Amino acid sequence: MVKLLGTGLLAAFFFSSTFILNRAMSLEGGHWVWTASLRYLWMTLFLVIGPILIGRGRLLFDALRLLYRYWRFWVVAGTVGFGVFYAGIAFAASYAPGWVVATTWQITVLASPLVLLLYGRRVPLRGVVFTVLIFVGVLLVNLGEMNAAGWREVVLGGLPVLIAAFAYPLGLQLVWEARSGGHTRIPHIVDPVLGDSFARVLLLTLGSLPFWLMVILVTQPPPPSAGQWMNTALVALLSGVVATSLFVYARHQARNAYELAAVDATQAAEVLFALAGEMLLLGTAFPSIAGVLGAGMTVLGLILYLLAQGKR
């Protein structure tokens, strides 16, 4: 159990790089469109070259074959699950500190059950009382930020994250439903390649590329700086590759629902890591009392909620 929690916390540490580096690029004047789109350009390169380097070229071929056959589905799923999701996260970094974005992002724990209901799935109601702690905590953090920055910054920094919190599970659940079948508007994709998590990430990443191209053409942002190229590559590597691999490994090693929920709960540490990282690397001021209390309530509520879901 200690090893599982340690691995989960290490994954949260690397995941927090997303919020810190996105904020750093924003403070340096980098446009949010490049912060978001370049990450997925790097991810595409990593995910295409990776299988070839490790001798899994067949997996790459099978994934591309599936993309060609169901390209409409992957464009929709990739646009929602990766495109809208990360556009909201990157946009919010222009108006709110990374730790505030990380705290608000925890609302995705509440969004996931609602998404399941939208697809007609039953969800466990145990631990729902703890969602009140999460909601109040996020509210306090944003109210504290409002006192420091103003309501406009809070709305522009908070609302996109709320949209992202729903878009991410909505897109991922589309893939799950496609594998399971039973929906008239979602194609039933029967293919062993979908059993590989690497292939699913690759297909969603490739499916999101038309969205990023459209956003670039519509917004026409100024060219990215050399620092933005480097930082987006770091985000893609640290969060997209290292953190995701560690987190998936920890979940795979869990022996029961309780341990699985405990691993998921470690991701609440993203809030603390993002706050510490911004204070050390970016000189962010220590948050207000409301911000500290809100962050603490969010982390506590998230841990209690996930642990309650894991009990039998």
Distance CA(175)–CA(148), nearest Å, equals 41
The backbone region for 182, taken as left when phi is positive above 0, alpha when psi lies in -120 to 50, beta otherwise, is: left
CA angle 11, 15, 19 (to 5 degrees): 160
Instruction: Express each pLDDT in 146-186 by its tens digit.
Output: 666 567 777 888 899 999 989 988 888 888 888 888 777 88
What is the pTM (predicted TM-score) of this model? 0.85
Q: 141 with 295: CB under 8 angstroms? A: yes
In the numeric block, which tokens belong to residue 54?
């490790």
Q: Which helix (H) or strand (E) holds 9?
A: helix 2-15
The stretch 16-33 carries a mean pLDDT of: 91
Distances (CA, A) of 274 to 74, 152, 277: 32, 23, 5
Instruction: Express each pLDDT in 45-76 by its tens digit.
Output: 998 888 888 888 888 899 999 999 999 999 99
Distance CA(103)–CA(138), nearest Å, equals 6
pLDDT at 9: 85
**Percent of the chain predicted with pLDDT > 70:** 88
Start-to-end CA span in the chain (Å): 17
Which SS3 state, helix, strand or coil, does residue 282 take?
Answer: coil
Compute the half-sphere exposure of residue 156: CA atoms within 13 Å on the CB side of its CA.
11
Calculate the CA 250 to chain-centre distance.
17
The stretch 6-19 carries a mean pLDDT of: 88
Higher pLDDT residue, 103 or 208?
208
Which SS3 state, helix, strand or coil, does residue 256 take?
Answer: coil
Q: 154 with 142: CB under 8 angstroms? A: yes
